[in-house]
Amino acid sequence: MASSILHCGAKHLDLSRPSIMGIVNVTPDSFSDGGDLYDNAQLDLNKTLHVIEKMLADGADIIDIGGESTRPGAAVVSTQQELDRVIPVLEAVVERFDALVSVDTSTAEVITESSKKGASLINDVRALGREGALAAAASSQLPICLMHMQNQPQTMQIEPTYTDVVAEVLAFLDERKYICMKAGIDSQKIILDPGFGFGKTLAHNLTLFGAIDQFVATGHPVLVGVSRKTMIGQMLGLENTDERLMGSVALALLAAQRGAAILRVHDVLETRQAIDVWKTTIKDED
Ligand code: 8Y4
């Protein structure tokens, strides 16, 4: 069984109920919601803090700040650019709010600097595969989310291929977890994520979604990120990301019911309400 408290530096996360991670993209070129925090290619820090304040009021447990877009075709960011985007927002949030901040990064320097500036968690779509990231994460002593991706963001959606998608994703995460533990990362601080949409067809995503219980059975907290993704567009025949709210909330709720510990979402209020009505119906069964 996963422990019900995740220690995140000076703070902690209660895992006895599903946690909501609100997405904050500090990139001018993000797929779904990037850019709206920008004015003339300049991040509006005040607007960003208002968005975050609302997410926290709406019931977010964690704020996930990312400075690199992983959309296929998105511009490559330098380490300095990523630091310049993420660190000021992290510092401002830590100063103003008593919130858990997760930093969505694969870059060693960003991991190290974020941990010094009060980040509570590292979220890496490359599962600490980049040069120096493993050592940086180990030194930070923060919890780390290891996500599965086939190939690289630029090429991952060209022709995703698996013999057994569930077995391969589980094996990849198990190997990355073992490498983390050898590097000195506490097993209790490892969060696993199948990586919906990262080098996967709709069929792969659906098979993985149906196997969430197998990820939960590892005993690690499981993070699920499906919010507004293409898989929902494909299921419902919706091109526009802003039409994917209901599908996103439904899938998040299903993931939580299947044991997902952390839901990474754009729409915090709606997801919180869905989770809360579900929890109310099972209160007496606890
Ligand atoms: C519309 C909306 C279309 C969003 C595409 C997207 C995950 C993640 C992302 C995830 C973890 C995204 C940083 C992709 N997804 N981190 N990050 N798990 N741990 N695309 O599933 O949201 S970014």
36: confidence class by pLDDT, cuts 50, 70, 90: confident
Cα–Cα dist 89/65, whole Å: 8
What's the mean pLDDT in 216-226? 98
Q: By mean pLDDT, which of 157-161, 188-192, 208-212, 266-270 is the weakest?
A: 157-161
Pocket test for ligand 1, best of 32, 105, 121, 212 (most atoms within 8 A of CB): 32
Residue 1 is predicted with a pLDDT of: 53
Residue 29: what pLDDT?
Answer: 73
Active site residue 258: no
**Proportion of the chain above pLDDT 90, given as a percent:** 87
pLDDT beyond 60 at 285: yes
> Does residue 253 carry a pLDDT above 70?
yes
What are the boundaries of each domain within the chain? 5-285
Q: Which of 229, 240, 262 to mutate to test the pocket of ligand 1 (most atoms within 8 A of CB)?
A: 229
In this prediction, residues 34-40 reach a mean pLDDT of 75
Q: Provide the pLDDT for residue 178.
A: 98
CATH number of 5-285: 3.20.20.20
Catalytic residue among 229, 244, 279, 283: 229
Question: Is 196 close to ligand 1, i.e. is its CB under 6 Å away?
Answer: yes
Q: For residue 241, which atom of ligand 1 is closest to its CA?
A: 1
Q: Which two tokens stand for residue 23?
A: 């997405």
State the pLDDT confidence band at 146, using cuts at 50, 70 and 90: very high
Kindly state the average pLDDT of the residues 7-36. 86
CB of 264 within 6 A of ligand 1: the answer is: yes
Residue 226 alpha carbon to ligand 1 centre in Å: 7
